[in-house]
Structure 1
Amino acid sequence: MAEHFADTPEGLPVDVIRLQAGGTRAQILTWGATLQDLRLDGVDHGLVLGAPQLAPYLGPMRYFGAIVGPVANRIAGGTAELDGTRHDFEKNEAGRTTLHGGHIGTDARLWQLEEESDSHCRLSLRLADGEGGFPGNRVLSAEYRLGDDGALTLTLTAVSDAPTWMNLANHAYWNLTGRDGLEDHALSIAASSYLEVDDHLIPTGAPVPVAGTRFDFRAPRPVRREGEAMVDHNFCLDPGARPSLVLTGGGLRLEITTDAPGVQIFDATGLTPGPGHDGRQHGPHAGLAIEPQFWPDTPNHPDYPSIRLDPGATWSQVSRYHATVES
């Protein structure tokens, strides 16, 4: 149930909603519709990185567990064209790209709690036409629901009164062992191809096969090994694969199934330290960001799966996260 968590610097109240079902407990903040904590009965640590205070979410842990958007990931040059009109967005990444919607994306806003029960909550957010350079008056919704089996299902939807782009994503950092570092985590992804990127992490073109590359996770392998290149890439999910991704570590197993066409994986290289639930300062490689979404820079790639949202249509994404103790 919802209760007061903190106040923003402007004095606005932020609530935390506590959900429980099937041996799983989740905590959701109305700030950023953030998955603040997720725990299994009998396991002595949380499975997502988060903080017990609001302040870190306003600084070094800005994206941790939040719903990012309205267009997650990067837009090259902070600009794109829609129906012959050029739109310029806020360039909030080194002055050259738009990242996760700009300076004040969906992660840095107070969402409205619309409904709740012991096992689910639904939050909404309204974005005005032109905010951050994106067209359309938009209404977004994020519903978290725990099932009887303990799986957490996140349903994201959006509508708009004008043609626009939409690509929401949850930006949780996962750690199954309760210890910083990813060397003891194994990952498999149902993806035969991925997107190569340039020095600014912008896709360079069409998907390329993962075979023979550092990005081949079709069979379980360590998330990272010493000396390996950073992973901050989109994996193009094989249609119909269930689950889409499996992460294991510390005797736990996380299965993620999504209807999104891709998943961004970031191994937290260069992560700015932030205080966790247990007081530790989480640094580089403290968790693995797993972000089901459409592909990055899609507004500038007409050959990628479209994120166009027209009036009268509903954009949606459904992702299911099921953590269990391995037998």
Structure 2
Amino acid sequence: MDKAKFAVAAAIWTVVAGQSAAAAEAKREAAGTLKDGTAVEAVTLSNANGVSARILSYGATLQSFKGPDKSGKIADVVLGYDDLTSYVDHPNYFGVTVGRYANRIAGGKFTLNGKTYQLPLNDKTNSLHGGGQGFDKKVWRIVSVDNGPTARVVFGLTSPEGDSGYPGALEVKVTYSLDDTGALQIAYDAATTKPTVINMTNHAIFNLAGEGSPMGAMGHLLTVPATAYTPVNAALIPTGELRPVSGSVFDFRKPRIIAEGLRDGTDQQIRYGQGYDHNFTLDKGLTAKPELAARLEDPASGRVLEVLSTEPGIQFYTGNFLDGTYYGKAGHLYRMGDGIALEPQKFPDAPNQSGFVSARVDPGKPYRHVMIYRLSVSQ
């Protein structure tokens, strides 16, 4: 980076001495209504350095996440839609809050305390992301909105006993917070009335060059601090093995261009996923505070996304099922490789895999997952 561009980047990401402590703002506004007349709102969080996030109460959805590149140009780095109606009529999990259980549960079944529960099957023979009527399809209530050094919005949801087949009634909160470092923190909290399983995350699909950019996201550099991943069968259910990444196209312990392994048809796992759609077992494991789970960089724009989480795994997905039938923001046509998801979570199918970190949650022992999307510029 030349001196002029470095100076611009430094100015973008440095809080000027003497600046007001209440630099981050939260703006609440109407975002439309559903067909049944239910009102949906949006809250935009913005900081003093050009980073902003817009969240819809429908699905507690991250609709946009904007930040400057190395020249100071602002772009939206998440795929999605400009209008509420498209999120309802053409769902594809763009930026939504996923629950009760993110990712796949084999056969839509699990057994807890000797009782077997059947969930809806919305992914051929599996239950995926809550079974088709999960938290991404709910209108969340806005509990609070705050300005200050950190701008914040808290969403609340009541999930009744038996919701999509899951045991226990839940009281759930999702808190989005944005500070002046460009860190968007998302905290998930849930309390249950009965033993149950919970696995929540955000399903943002990123292109750091800007959503809809013609070259897509496959030229991005990805780093994942994981020495193993969970290989899957043809139904994309983990086999239970924790397979070393060494010597495979799943080795992202050092920065690597995503496209290098994406079309390696000699790897059965890539064939099963039609690209990357796999969970990595993070070396850090389950942690009390968010630690690094992935780092993504677009060399052209200079934008960097760091993903931190308290959870032990992260799902890496290269948008393999984006097939040109989705018209996104500004009429952009989304296809495979136009963005990637990095979803911190428990491992897929953990309720049926005794060797995986447990997803069980009991009364009096609330669920909590804290993750961070930190957007910056490389120097």
Unaligned runs of 5+ in 2: 1-26, 265-269
Residue 5 of structure 1 is matched in structure 2 by 31
Residue 161 of structure 1 is matched in structure 2 by 193
Residue 219 of structure 2 is matched in structure 1 by 184
Question: CA RMSD, aligned part only?
Answer: 1.4
1: distance between equivalents of 2:89 and 2:54? 20
Matching of residue 215 in structure 1 with residue 250 in structure 2: yes
The amino acid that maps onto 1:227 is R
Structure 1 segments (4+ residues) deviating >3 Å: 59-62
Residue 283 of structure 1 is matched in structure 2 by 335
1: distance between equivalents of 2:131 and 2:343? 18
Summarize the alignment of residues 37-186 of structure 1 with structure 2, pairs less than 5 Å apart.
37-41=64-68, 42-94=72-124, 96-118=125-147, 119-178=151-210, 179-180=213-214, 181-186=216-221
The structure richer in helix per residue is 2
Corresponding residue to 1:253 among 304, 314, 317: 304
Matching of residue 235 in structure 1 with residue 264 in structure 2: no
2: distance between equivalents of 1:101 and 1:269? 20
Q: Deviations along 1:113-170, whole A, 9 cap, x unmatched? A: 0000231100011111111110000011100001121211111111000000000110
Query: Identity of paired residues, percent?
Result: 35
Residue pair 1:22, 1:149 contacting (<8 A) in 2 also? no
Deviation at 1:242, TM superposition (A): 4.3
Residue pair 1:203, 1:296 contacting (<8 A) in 2 also? yes
Moved more, 76-85 or 205-214: 205-214
Residue pair 2:208, 2:217 contacting (<8 A) in 1 also? no
Matching of residue 302 in structure 1 with residue 329 in structure 2: no
The amino acid that maps onto 1:169 is T
Residue pair 1:77, 1:91 contacting (<8 A) in 2 also? yes
Residue pair 1:56, 1:274 contacting (<8 A) in 2 also? no
Greater CA radius of gyration, 1 or 2? 2
1: distance between equivalents of 2:293 and 2:352? 26
- SS of 1:243's partner is strand
Q: TM-score, normalised by structure 2?
A: 0.83
Residue 44 of structure 2 is matched in structure 1 by 18
Matching of residue 269 in structure 1 with residue 301 in structure 2: no
Deviation at 1:251, TM superposition (A): 1.2
- SS of 1:299's partner is helix
2: distance between equivalents of 1:215 and 1:198? 16
1: distance between equivalents of 2:97 and 2:204? 9
Residue pair 2:240, 2:355 contacting (<8 A) in 1 also? no
Deviation at 1:107, TM superposition (A): 0.4
- SS of 1:278's partner is helix
Residue pair 1:31, 1:110 contacting (<8 A) in 2 also? yes
- SS of 2:87's partner is helix
Moved more, 223-232 or 158-167: 223-232
Deviation at 1:55, TM superposition (A): 2.1
Q: TM-score, normalised by structure 1?
A: 0.96
Corresponding residue to 1:244 among 289, 293, 300: 293
Residue pair 1:62, 1:108 contacting (<8 A) in 2 also? no
- Matched positions, count: 326
